[in-house]
Structure 1
Amino acid sequence: METITGTAAGVPYTALPPTGSNAGPPPLIVTWHMLDAPRTDAAFAAALPMTGVPAWRVHLGMPMCGARMVDGRVDAIMELARRDALMAFLAPFVRQAAEEFPAALAALRDQLPVDDGPVGVLGGSLGGAVALEVLTTWRAPIKAVALVNPAVRIRSAVDLAEGIAGKPYRWTAEAHRTADELDFVARATGIAAQPPLLLVSGERDHPALRTDAAALVDVLRQRYTHPDEAELTTVPDLSHPLADEPGLEPAPQLPVAKRVDEILTRWFRRQLTVS
């Protein structure tokens, strides 16, 4: 499978071109990877290539990941998580990745033969929070949103990150405000657009993340003019990661990732062919 690597407005990416021919420039899907395995854009592209989707799939690197990793190791990221899981780690990653997106998108349109229409977005785990931040702040026209085991409420991710710090998180007034700002169940009622949204939840994912996922879809179904355009799909035997550790380099696709990939491929094919 052909892959293209590059940098868009300072953001490294791994791009997969569509197979076959198109009547015109193909559409674009942009993804943000997990901080669990697969934790780089190249590894995420290998785990979820979505080869059957007639679109460019461009996997952006998250801050301090992949080509931007300090000394090619995750130590610097873990140190931020130990220092302050929310204020030094989770929130800055989400905000920086979302803030980088408009310029990166403009650069991708200059570099790749994609159409100029609304884009599809996909995020896994913390990358799911980035996709939701992009959606709720309307940083670009969005045609469809897919999420895999996403961090829908950052408070739940903070609780999970306590294991890295080895101690309970020390909540401050500022941390509470930041967690409220990154609670996408609460913010769902303020989403101006109503793009189709698919949330893929692993049957063995962290219980709190599964609860938050169901809550987000419930809120969107209440708000959407067409409630069936907010979908929740559970994948048996899927835990949180989509690849084996260390998840830094492209690796053979795991069977459970293949099932997720097939779900995403069918769904994006359907959404991208809707006029």
Structure 2
Amino acid sequence: MPSLETLKVAGVPLLLRPPANRDRHTPLILFWHGFGSPNGEADIAEAFALEHVEAWKAYLGLPLFGQRSVGVEDLMRRQMEDYVLQLLLPVVEQAVEELPEVIEALRSHCDLDRNSPLGLFGFSAGGLAALLTLAESHLPIQSVVLTGVTKDLSAAVATYERFTQSSYEMLSEQYPGLKPEYEWSEESETARNRLDFVAHSKEIVQRDPLPAILFVHGVQDEAFNLDDVEALHDALKIQYQQLSHPERLSLRVFQHLRHAIDLTSNSSPEQQADIVEIERVVADWFKQYL
């Protein structure tokens, strides 16, 4: 397997894996990790090596995480003080804003022409960044994989509330102003509308080229409900069918998969088998649509 190169481009730390065979039209795939495992550049590079996909693979570090980590204590403080406005939105928004300059810098570094195909992979919070990219950017992304993602900001906040309420007595001692439910403000309400991807599904299908989107989700995902990702998939499915390209949208469900994607954890053999199969499915999707 080609070795990883450690880089910082346009201010963003990343790991870069070259293809075995290189030319100026070789695809470039960009990966975003999440807040949980994989939650850094090295983790997602290990989980999704995709060694049989002939493409440059760039594993980007999200703001506040990976090589730009602010530390567990500061992340927890941000989460408890205002999960949306101090943690999730700043990370996702900055990641999306950084992406065009990262792509330009990588095309120059890898000697790729401007028409080289682009792929995008997002896990969990990184998947929300990928969805926001699809809804708002003009980048010519041809193929996308969204793993362990959800349909909107409200669903992400519901996950935060479940975590907070399950440990409220302990957390409230450390964070005295903590409320058991998230308190929406005018600013976070604006973010909620912006990150409602069911409502913005039309913007996604109006992109040129029409992105080939694969959703990957586990039945046992304890962070984001399968029902929510199915709702987003179904909203997009109607429009992909109307455009006569239903084959460019897919949802793959894994019976034993939890939220984390980590072969080194104490997961069951069935969960580990699902994780191995996911890498194959993701590789096949990118090989078909890049």
TM-score by length of 1: 0.89
Q: Which moved more, 1:28-37 or 1:146-155?
A: 146-155
- State the Cα deviation string for residues 194-251 of structure 1 (Å, max 9, x = none): 21110001121137532221111111111121123110000121111102789xxxxx
Query: Structure 2: which 5+ runs fail to align?
Result: 169-179, 266-270
User: Could you say what secondary structure the match of 2:146 adopts?
Assistant: strand
Instruction: After TM superposition, list the pairs within 5 Å mapping 1:1-275 onto structure 2.
Output: 1=1, 2-19=3-20, 21-22=21-22, 24-70=24-70, 73-117=71-115, 118-162=117-161, 163-164=163-164, 166=168, 167-191=180-204, 192-193=206-207, 194-206=210-222, 208-224=224-240, 225=243, 226-243=245-262, 254-272=272-290
Q: 1:47 and 1:61 mapped to 2: Cα distance?
A: 14
The one-letter code matched in structure 2 to 1:175 is: S
Offset of residue 95 of structure 1: 0.5
User: Could you say what secondary structure the match of 1:51 adopts?
Assistant: coil
The one-letter code matched in structure 2 to 1:172 is: S
Give the 4+ runs in structure 1 shifted more than 6 A: none
The one-letter code matched in structure 2 to 1:227 is: P
- State the Cα deviation string for residues 161-181 of structure 1 (Å, max 9, x = none): 122583221122332221111
User: Could you say what secondary structure the match of 1:185 adopts?
Assistant: coil
Q: 2:108 and 2:24 mapped to 1: Cα distance?
A: 16
CA 1:86–1:18: 2 relative to 1, 3 Å: same
Offset of residue 100 of structure 1: 0.7
Q: 2:264 and 2:128 mapped to 1: Cα distance?
A: 22
1:27·1:115 contact (CA, 8 Å) conserved in 2?
no
User: Could you say what secondary structure the match of 2:114 adopts?
Assistant: coil
Q: Which has the higher contact order (CA 8 A, sep 6+)?
A: 1
- State the Cα deviation string for residues 103-142 of structure 1 (Å, max 9, x = none): 1111111212334224110100010011111111124111
Q: 2:141 and 2:101 mapped to 1: Cα distance?
A: 15
Q: 1:33 and 1:234 mapped to 2: Cα distance?
A: 20
Q: 1:237 and 1:83 mapped to 2: Cα distance?
A: 34
User: Could you say what secondary structure the match of 2:228 adopts?
Assistant: helix
CA 1:25–1:208: 2 relative to 1, 3 Å: closer
Q: 1:170 and 1:53 mapped to 2: Cα distance?
A: 44
The one-letter code matched in structure 2 to 1:35 is: F
**Pairwise CA RMSD of aligned residues?**
2.0
Q: Which moved more, 1:236-245 or 1:34-43?
A: 236-245
User: Could you say what secondary structure the match of 1:239 adopts?
Assistant: coil
The one-letter code matched in structure 1 to 2:4 is: T
Identical aligned residues as a percent: 33
2:150·2:224 contact (CA, 8 Å) conserved in 1?
no
Q: Which has the larger radius of gyration?
A: 2
Offset of residue 187 of structure 1: 0.6
The one-letter code matched in structure 1 to 2:6 is: T
1:147·1:199 contact (CA, 8 Å) conserved in 2?
yes
Query: Structure 1: which 5+ runs fail to align?
Result: 247-252
Q: 1:154 and 1:146 mapped to 2: Cα distance?
A: 19
CA 1:127–1:81: 2 relative to 1, 3 Å: same
Q: How many residues align?
A: 263
1:220·1:227 contact (CA, 8 Å) conserved in 2?
no
